[in-house]
């Protein structure tokens, strides 16, 4: 496979994952803004921070209103991480790797791009926002379904999956990074309504508020939520789940190509930090330090993969 | 569909019977279905020079253009003759130049021509094939009266539309194909692969690696590049995927560099090698011309092939065919005035409003004048350009092109068309796909069929006997 093709697949699926994550973040922010009037502006600000576009946003807007944030994150093409931008990048990459995609996957991506560019051509009214976010989620599910249902399990699939999980673990880690202080076991906050709101936002941002309840052996505590998002291998957006997927897809590539690279060791090192670990020991190490290091190393892993598999010349 | 005196052309008889039984509303809906299919599949093209990089569809007309086997075999024979002559001409022009010595083509037409590449002099490409793929543009003026408009010996495009148009027709009207026996075109990608493989360099081994070189996703024909690579099972590469490794051209894969034997390039000569041609080119591969001249890669079509489809050379095609085949040309040439010649220029200036004037090196319908359709102002502006650089232009009469029907506002209406059959050349022979791309001028009375100028396409049927 061409290095460029591997890179195109990797980025195509990173961007698709990002579109979905941005929609999730907006959804969580929107819900808080609707249901808790106390600090909507603060919530929107942390959404922008989590999306990693705080500086550029601040240059354009002075306040964090729902209308501005939603518009900036959904359809502002000067924001390279807006849904409209990343969907266009995803589709550009899909065109580059079109010969590697099944008709179903290509058409799903192309249709997603056509649908979203047309829906996002004009500002989204508040009444239409839930339907809009729903469409983004549905379109993501469509592409994912086409990938799982029609693609050969070969290197093409592996690079697609690796892109997905590098992006996803980055996203979950960013949410934790922005909200880590609400997850620290401060005795003074425990059980306060502030904590409940914050925890709900965190869970909603990774679409885990219901699954957390299903699995609810434990009380809703900071430690239980942190444990769920970082270490629980049943949750498809937890750090542990994502890194284990990256490790296995890299292993398939090693088997396929008969060659191991530095990225294989890096991925295992990253994953081993999460295996056989308790949340208490992470708190002991320092949650913030742990998350910061994770984001840094996950990022480095992505770059190592790009270089090991010769994505660019 | 109508022949002389308004009768239905025999080739259209069965289709016409079917058409009369169709509900026009259903056909209109089918038209929209086809458009949605093209959009979903991404069969779009980019238009140069528009403010936004927009993607457009080439309008598709659902009425096929139908040729009888008898008409087709005459046409195919003529094309084969012409393409064989073009290859012989190219080999001669870059080697012994017999035709110049014989005085059949003027020397300075070659020496002063940008399309003539000195780098190709004294070199013979693998299999002695220059034009691996040709798209000969044909028009018809009357029954069996075919003219060649252009030879397109560089990188003719449109074959993906030929294939997708047929697929679309098969999906929309399967019943038509069980009723009417149409010669298939779907073997083209397989034949293209086989033909290119047969032209691989001697050292390539039994299964040569083939790649399609594209300028990238923003090129107007990108869809076609990816389509052909996909259908042939070849790699789709850009210049930055390639480099010289150990005396060969190699592509960067996830497992290191891998040798390429045949490069079907969809990049113009000028951009092929920044070390040899345009030094600013980012689309090509530095050093590829050295590898080529060392005989370690096949480039299709061969660099320098453009000299054969140059519009000034075109006027000499009847001589060229005769010189190399010893036969009279089967297909007619359109009468052509070379404006560089004083007498011709005078005639052209006197009759500008009746003529079509084209740039010698132009393509895609850009920079041409259609006299009968031009305003007084346009004529005057063109006249000035013509006087300033007469050598840049040729002129041709406007032919009274035959028309074929299109489906327009629930009924059939006549429009002008041309036809681009696709020809594959290898040492094993010349292969012409039965049919080709029919381009249609959608505006009533218009003669311009280029997709960049609002033309459409339709499926082209060659009936089985």
pLDDT value of residue A204: 86
Residue B5 pLDDT more than 60?
Answer: no
Q: Which residues of B touch A155 (CB under 8 A)?
A: 254
Tens of pLDDT, residue by residue over A211-264, are 888 887 667 788 888 999 999 999 999 999 999 999 999 999 999 999 999 999
Question: Would you call B217 and A1 a contact, using CB atoms and an 8 Å cutoff?
Answer: no
Average pLDDT over residues B394-412: 87
Considering the domain architecture, whether residues B371 and B435 belong to the same structural domain is answered as no
For residue B194, pLDDT over 60 is answered with: yes
Mean pLDDT taken over chain B: 91
Confidence (pLDDT) at B43:
84
Residue B4 has a pLDDT of 46
Check whether residue A174 and residue A141 sit in a common domain: no
- Asked whether residue A187 carries a pLDDT value surpassing 50, the answer given is no
Q: Kindly list the residues from chain A whose CB atom is less than 8 angstroms away from the CB atom of residue B222.
A: 95
Q: Within this chain, do residues A162 and A111 fall inside the same structural domain, yes or no? A: no
Residue A141, chain B, CB below 8 Å: the answer is no
pLDDT at A292 exceeding the cut of 90: yes
List the domain range (segments joined by +) for residue B344. 335-398
Q: Which residues contact residue B273 at a Cβ distance below 8 angstroms, ignoring those fewer than 6 apart?
A: B281, B284, B285, B286, B287, B288, B289
Bridge partners of B300, per DSSP, are B264
What is the distance in angstroms between the Cα of A251 and the nearest Cα belonging to chain B?
15
B282 and B385 share a domain? no
Taking the C-alpha atoms of residue B16 and residue B64, their distance in angstroms, rounded to an integer, is: 11
Distance, in Å, from the CA atom of A50 to the CA atom of A42, rounded to the nearest integer, reads: 12
Q: Average the pLDDT over each of A63-67, A199-203, B35-39, B101-105 and give the range with the smallest value.
A: A199-203
User: Cα separation of A19 and A23, whole Å?
Assistant: 6
Kindly tell me if the per-residue pLDDT of A76 is higher than 70. yes
**pLDDT tens profile A26-38:** 998 888 888 776 7
What are the tens digits of pLDDT across the range B284-318? 999 999 999 999 999 999 999 999 988 889 999 99
Find the residue in A nearest to B55 (Cα). A114
| Overall average pLDDT of the B34-57 stretch | 73
What is the percentage of chain B residues whose pLDDT exceeds 70? 95
With CA atoms as reference, the chain B residue closest to A98 would be B226
Looking at the predicted structure, is the pLDDT value of residue B51 above 50?
no
The percent of residues in chain A predicted with pLDDT above 70, rounded, is 95
Say if B40 is an interface residue toward chain A (CB within 8 Å): yes
The rounded mean pLDDT for chain A is 91
CA distance B222 to B233: 16
Judgement on whether residues B391 and B295 belong to the same structural domain of the protein? no
Cis peptide before B301 (omega within 30 of 0): yes
Last residue of a domain, one of A81, A116, A151: A151
Its ipTM equals 0.87
Which residue is listed with tokens 């035959």? B402
On whether both A197 and A307 belong to a single domain, the answer is: yes
A288–B contact, CB cutoff 8 A: no
Mean pLDDT (whole number) for B222-233: 95
How many domains does one find in chain A? 2
Which two three-digit tokens encode residue A171? 């996203």
B335-364 mean pLDDT: 87
Cα nearest neighbour of A100 on chain B:
B230
CA–CA gap between residue B4 and residue B26 (Å, rounded): 30
DSSP state of B7: P
Chains A & B: contacts with CB separation below 8 Å: 60
Asked if B217 and A92 come within 8 Å (Cβ–Cβ), the reply is yes
* Same domain as B207, residue B232: yes
Shared domain check, B228 and B198: yes
Same domain, A5 and A131: yes
Structurally, chain B folds into a number of domains equal to 2
The CATH number of the domain holding residue B340 is 3.30.1490.270
The predicted structure's pLDDT at residue B3: 53
| Sign of the alpha-carbon dihedral angle for B264, B269, B271, B275 | positive
Same domain for B271 and B161: yes
DSSP-assigned states of every residue in chain A: -BHHHHHHHHHHHHHHHHHHHHHHHHHHHHHHHHH--TTHHHHHHHHHHHTT-HHHHHHH-SS--HHHHHHHHHH-TTSTTSHHHHHHHHHHHHHHTGGGS-HHHHHHHHHHHHHHHHHTTSPPPGGGHHHHHHHHHHHHHHHHHHHHHHS-SSHHHHHHHHHHHHHHHHHHHHHHHHHHHHHS--TTTTT-HHHHHHHHHHHHHTT-HHHHHHT-SS-S-HHHHHHHHHH-TTSTTSHHHHHHHHHHHHHHHHHHHT---HHHHHHHHHHHTTTT--HHHHHHH-HHHHHHHHHHHHHHHHHHHHHHTTS--
- The whole-number pLDDT of residue A201 equals 81
Range of the domain at A276: 153-313
pLDDT reading at B182 higher than 60: yes
What mean pLDDT do residues A284-305 have?
95
Residue A67 CB neighbour total at 10 angstroms: 13
Q: Do A72 and A161 sit in the same domain of this protein?
A: no
A172 and A213 inside one domain: yes
What pLDDT sits at residue B117? 95
Residues B350, B425: one domain?
A: no
Select the more confidently predicted residue: A75 or B358: A75
First to last CA, chain A: 14
Supply the DSSP symbol for B283.
Answer: S
């Amino acid at each position: 496979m061409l290095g460029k093709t591997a890179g195109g697949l990797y980025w195509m699926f990173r961007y698709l994952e990002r579109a979905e994550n941005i929609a999730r973040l907006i959804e969580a922010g929107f819900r808080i803004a609707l249901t808790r009037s106390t600090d909507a502006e603060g919530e929107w600000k942390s959404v922008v921070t989590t999306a990693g576009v705080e500086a550029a946003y601040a240059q354009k807007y002075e306040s964090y209103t729902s209308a501005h944030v939603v518009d900036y994150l959904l359809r502002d093409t000067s924001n390279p991480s807006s849904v409209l931008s990343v969907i266009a990048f995803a589709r550009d990459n899909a065109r580059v790797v079109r010969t590697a995609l099944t008709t179903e996957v290509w058409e799903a991506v192309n249709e997603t791009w056509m649908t979203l560019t047309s829906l996002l051509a004009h500002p989204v009214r508040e009444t239409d926002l839930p339907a809009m976010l729903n469409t983004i989620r549905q379109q993501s599910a469509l592409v994912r379904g086409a990938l799982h249902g029609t693609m050969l399990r070969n290197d093409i699939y592996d690079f697609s999956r690796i892109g997905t999980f590098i992006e996803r673990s980055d996203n979950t880690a960013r949410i934790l990074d922005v909200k880590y202080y609400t997850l620290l076991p401060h005795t003074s906050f425990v059980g306060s309504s502030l904590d409940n709101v914050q925890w709900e936002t965190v869970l909603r941002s990774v679409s885990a508020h219901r699954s957390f309840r299903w699995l609810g052996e434990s009380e809703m505590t900071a430690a239980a939520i942190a444990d769920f998002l970082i270490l629980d291998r049943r949750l498809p957006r937890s750090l542990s789940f994502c890194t284990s997927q990256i490790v296995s897809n890299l292993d398939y590539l090693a088997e396929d190509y008969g060659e191991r690279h530095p990225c294989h060791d890096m991925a295992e090192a990253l994953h081993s930090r999460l295996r056989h670990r308790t949340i208490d020991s992470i708190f002991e190490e320092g949650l913030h330090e742990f998350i910061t290091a994770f984001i840094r190393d996950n990022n480095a892993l992505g770059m190592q993969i790009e270089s090991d598999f010769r994505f660019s010349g | 569909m109508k022949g002389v005196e308004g009768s239905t052309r025999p080739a259209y008889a069965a289709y016409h019977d079917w058409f009369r039984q169709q509900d026009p509303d259903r056909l209109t809906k089918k038209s929209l279905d086809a458009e949605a299919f093209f959009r979903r599949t991404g069969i779009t093209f980019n238009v140069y020079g528009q403010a936004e990089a927009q993607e457009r569809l080439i309008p598709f007309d659902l009425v096929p253009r139908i040729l009888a086997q008898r008409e087709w075999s005459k046409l195919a024979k003529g094309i084969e003759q012409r393409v064989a002559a073009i290859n012989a001409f190219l080999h001669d022009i870059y080697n012994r130049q017999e035709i110049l010595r014989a005085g059949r083509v003027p020397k300075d037409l070659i020496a002063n021509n940008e399309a003539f590449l000195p780098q190709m002099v004294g070199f013979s490409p693998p299999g002695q094939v220059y034009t691996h793929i040709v798209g000969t543009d044909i028009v018809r003026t009357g029954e069996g009266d075919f003219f060649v408009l252009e030879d397109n010996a560089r990188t003719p495009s449109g074959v993906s539309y030929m294939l997708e148009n047929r697929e679309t027709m098969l999906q929309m009207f399967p019943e038509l194909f069980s009723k009417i026996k149409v010669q298939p075109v779907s073997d083209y990608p397989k034949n293209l692969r086989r033909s290119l493989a047969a032209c691989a360099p001697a050292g390539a081994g039994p299964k040569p690696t083939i790649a399609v070189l594209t300028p990238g996703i923003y090129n107007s024909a990108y869809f076609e590049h990816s389509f052909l690579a996909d259908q042939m099972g070849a790699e789709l590469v850009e210049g930055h995927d390639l480099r010289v490794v150990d005396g060969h051209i190699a592509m960067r894969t996830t497992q290191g560099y891998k040798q390429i034997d045949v490069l079907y390039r969809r990049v113009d000569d000028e951009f092929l090698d920044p070390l040899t041609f345009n030094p600013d080119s980012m689309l090509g591969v530095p050093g590829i011309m050295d590898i080529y001249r060392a005989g370690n890669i096949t480039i299709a079509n061969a660099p320098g092939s453009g000299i054969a489809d140059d519009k000034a050379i075109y006027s000499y095609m009847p001589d060229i065919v005769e010189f190399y085949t010893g036969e009279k040309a089967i297909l007619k040439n359109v009468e052509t005035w070379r404006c560089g010649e004083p007498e011709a220029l005078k005639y052209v200036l006197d009759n500008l409003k009746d003529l079509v004037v084209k740039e010698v090196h132009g393509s895609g319908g850009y920079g041409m004048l259609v006299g009968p359709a031009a305003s007084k102002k346009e004529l005057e502006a063109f006249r000035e350009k013509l006087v300033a650089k007469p050598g840049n232009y040729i002129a041709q009469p406007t032919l009274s092109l035959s028309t074929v029907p299109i489906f327009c506002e629930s009924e059939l209406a006549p429009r002008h068309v041309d036809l681009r059959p696709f020809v594959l050349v290898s040492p094993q022979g010349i292969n012409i796909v039965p049919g080709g791309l029919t381009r249609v001028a959608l505006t009533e009375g218009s003669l311009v069929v280029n997709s960049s100028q609002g033309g459409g396409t339709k499926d082209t049927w060659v009936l089985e006997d």
